[in-house]
């Protein structure tokens, strides 16, 4: 077989002399993608957060979490390739794995179309281009349907989605989450809000560093205040169950703000997997999110 050559999102070419038979995934969404692509039996390691599909992954050994990867455990599994994510895994862990001689494929999809492309790229990495055609076609079919839906919306709902509490955090326009909202008939009310440095500046208690001082830092996930949420008056508030597990307490908290979403009963708990798992899992969850955002319907059980 010809050498497999795939370029990751860090611009690095990964070359394999044969399809990988031993794979470690350090990313929950990629674990899901890999199983759906038919290589579940090749997975020899996963993080504790790689929980779906549950019946397929529960017996796979854990190698720590996404931010606290047990590098020694990964190395001991002798994988042919490790699948990582620039946003979810630490640079130090990737560097240590590579220093140990492992091949690490690093993904970083910032849009839903990039997530669909990642499925096709994984199929090439796995040497399963032909076998995976149906799965890849399904992904792009779901993407086309979502794009058609988004183009049909004349007045997108103004939506707010927090991703963390204490500190309260959200995402701006340059994120996968914001693109998911677009495809579900909504617009992110914090689309133009960059993260400011230092932390006190992000919540309006100090002067922000200038552009040169901030250069190279991630500004996509600002820390915000409840006053900012109130001022932007979202029509819909979605509270995902990950990475922070929002629940009834937070529903009440945001309900007390008196924004349009609260007055109209449009504060909804939802699946973080539908919002934040690039690839097949989010593509499969777009319809459920559309129902919540456009109709206020409770998301169906999955």
pLDDT in tens, 32-48: 999 999 999 999 999 99
- 172, 291: one domain: yes
CA atoms of 48 and 62, how far apart (whole Å): 6
- For residue range 82-122, what is the model confidence (pLDDT) as tens digits? 999 999 999 999 999 999 999 999 999 999 999 999 999 99
- 120, 200: one domain: no
- 126, 189: one domain: no
- 171, 274: one domain: yes
Q: Is residue 73 part of a domain?
A: yes
Counting as low any pLDDT under 70, the low residues of the chain are 1, 296-302
Q: Decide: residue 251, CB within 10 A, 0-12 exposed, 13-18 middle, 19+ buried.
A: middle
Residue 247, domain extent: 154-295
- 183, 118: one domain: no
Q: Which of 138, 165, 182 is the last residue of a domain?
A: 138
- 133, 23: one domain: yes
Look up the pTM and report it: 0.93
Q: What is the pLDDT of residue 117?
A: 95
Q: Decide: residue 41, CB within 10 A, 0-12 exposed, 13-18 middle, 19+ buried.
A: exposed
Q: Phi then psi for 27, rounded to 5 degrees?
A: -135, 120
**Distance between alpha carbon 181 and the CA centroid of its chain, in Å?**
13
CATH code for the domain in which residue 34 is found? 3.40.50.1980
Q: What is the pLDDT of residue 129?
A: 80
Q: Is residue 242 part of a domain?
A: yes
**Angle at CA 285, nearest 5°, toward 279 and 289?**
130
- 126, 165: one domain: no
Q: Is residue 148 part of a domain?
A: no
Residue 216 zone, left/alpha/beta (φ > 0; ψ -120 to 50; rest)? left
Sign of the dihedral defined by the CA atoms of residues 279, 26, 274, 182, in that order: negative
Domain count, the chain: 2
């Amino acid at each position: 077989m010809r050498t497999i050559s795939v370029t990751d999102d860090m611009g690095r070419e990964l070359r394999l002399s044969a399809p990988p038979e031993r794979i470690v995934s350090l990313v929950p969404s990629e674990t899901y993608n890999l199983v759906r692509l038919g290589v579940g039996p090749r997975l020899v390691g996963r993080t504790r957060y790689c929980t779906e599909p549950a019946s397929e992954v529960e017996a796979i050994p854990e190698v720590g979490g996404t931010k606290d990867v047990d590098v020694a455990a990964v190395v001991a599994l002798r994988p042919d390739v490790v699948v990582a994510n620039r946003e979810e895994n630490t640079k130090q862990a990737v560097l240590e794995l590579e220093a140990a001689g492992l091949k690490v494929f690093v993904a970083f999809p910032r849009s839903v179309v990039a997530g669909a492309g990642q499925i096709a790229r994984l199929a090439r990495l796995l040497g399963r281009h032909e076998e995976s055609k149906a799965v890849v076609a399904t992904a792009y079919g779901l993407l086309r349907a979502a794009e058609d839906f988004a183009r049909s919306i004349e007045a997108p709902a103004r939506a707010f989605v927090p991703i963390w509490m204490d500190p309260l955090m959200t995402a701006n326009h340059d994120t996968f989450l914001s693109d998911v909202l677009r495809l579900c008939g909504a617009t992110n009310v914090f689309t133009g809000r960059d993260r400011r440095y230092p932390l006190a500046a992000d919540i309006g208690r100090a002067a922000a560093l200038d552009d040169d001082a901030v250069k190279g830092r991630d500004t996509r996930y600002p820390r915000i205040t409840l006053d900012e949420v109130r001022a932007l008056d979202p029509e819909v508030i979605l509270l995902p169950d990950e990475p922070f597990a929002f629940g009834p307490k937070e529903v009440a908290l945001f309900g007390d703000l008196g924004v349009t979403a609260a007055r109209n009963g449009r504060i909804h708990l939802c699946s973080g997997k539908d919002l934040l798992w690039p690839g097949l899992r989010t593509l499969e969850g777009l319809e459920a999110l559309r129902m919540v955002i456009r109709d206020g319907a409770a998301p169906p059980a999955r």
